[in-house]
Amino acid sequence: MYLAFFVVIGAAAFGLIETTSAPEVTMEGDSLSTGDPVTLGERTFDVSDVGGTSGELAWTNESGRATATIDNGSEVPVTDVIWDGQTARQTVTFEVGSAATVNGTEYDVTTNASAGSFTLTSTANASVNESYAVGDEFAYQGYAGTVGEVTGDAATVVYGGPYVLDVNNESVSNPTNATLIESPDYDALAAADDALFDQTVEVNGTRVVTYRANNTNVPLFEYFGEPETHTFEENGTLAYQGNETTITAVSNTSVELAWEATQTETIDLSEGGNFTVGGMQYFAHFPDNSSVMIFETSERYDEYHAQNREIASYESRMINLWGIAEISALAAIILVAAAFLPVRG
């Protein structure tokens, strides 16, 4: 009798587990996939990176603000800054169809304008060649440089510098200006110059270069020229990394720059997660692995939350039913085993 009771109870619990369907969140509304636009308030976003229970909204801020910090004493590549009359920033153009001498070796020049790249091929050995694209580093005559432009006819390299930032704080506690001072690698320049020995030396407190032909010393700055300097003021402007920037702050430790910039701003989406746009709160629901639905929290979150409570209740009931089924099965096994135990007396 007891065996039958536990078998019936266990079978009933297992039957309910097998025949009861799990509830799901089902919200009516538009489903959005990666690449779709969606307007929330007065702003239009692009949906991106939708997958599983996460995604992203992205929009382009045309009037964004970018900033940069240059630390006092740090190097600034000559390719990062430009101003009228600048002398340390130099350019060299390698024309297609003409031989170019680069760091003592003669090359033929070819360009690929569509790819923004050019190739230098040794005139003495065609198997020796190097290719560079716009933005690549390019060492030239002892200077650090960068590939600036490539056309069908030529490639241009910008080189020189670098500068070192010096905040003018020797006599003031609250400086308002700073100076970029040219600081090239003079040993590298000497090594790249066939007329000179490969490094500079100091003679009687003066740094000099030495001619190979007659061992004559020439003061360093007399041979290469005085280092270029450029001073700028707080609230002034500086062309930096292709941007017209404003010097927003000068301190003893750094210079702060700011400029208007187009920026992509994003909002992360998660299942049921709330986010705010223009003072209005929204939440996201992912009906499948490739789409997302977005609703105003004040209008639909109660509906969404109620369905999730139903799911949580269902899962709790299933755990209880599994417990009943397992306990009933264990009790039936114990009763059957007990029936086969030997009887004394």
Burial class (CB in 10 A: 0-12, 13-18, 19+), 159: buried
pTM, full prediction: 0.65
Q: How many angstroms separate the Cα of 264 from the Cα of each of 35, 56, 65, 139, 235?
A: 15, 12, 11, 34, 27
Tokens of 125: 């050995």
Residue 168: per-residue pLDDT: 80
Report which DSSP code applies to 80.
G
Q: Within a 13 Å sphere around the CA of 343, how many CA atoms are in the beta-carbon half?
A: 3
Q: What crossing angle do the helices spanning 297-339 and 2-19 adopt, rounded to 10°? A: 150
Enumerate residues 6+ apart whose C-beta is below 8 A from 73: 164, 165, 166
Sequence-ordered list of residues with C-beta below 8 angstroms from that of 340, at least 6 positions apart, any chain = none
Question: What pLDDT, on a 0 to 100 scale, did the predictor assign at position 6?
Answer: 46
Which of 83, 225, 230 is CA-nearest to residue 166?
230
Nearest to 276 by CA among 30, 48, 32, 41: 41
HSE (CB half, 13 Å, CA atoms) of 107? 21
Per-residue pLDDT tens listing for the chain (345 residues): 555 554 555 555 455 555 555 657 788 889 999 999 999 998 999 999 998 889 999 999 888 889 999 999 999 999 999 999 999 999 999 999 888 988 888 999 999 999 999 999 999 998 999 999 999 999 888 888 999 999 999 999 999 989 999 998 766 778 999 999 999 889 988 988 889 999 899 999 999 999 999 999 999 999 999 999 999 999 999 999 999 999 999 999 999 999 998 888 999 999 999 999 989 999 999 999 899 999 999 999 999 988 877 766 656 665 665 665 566 566 556 655 655 666 555
Q: What angle do CA 253, 263, 275 make, to 5 degrees?
A: 105
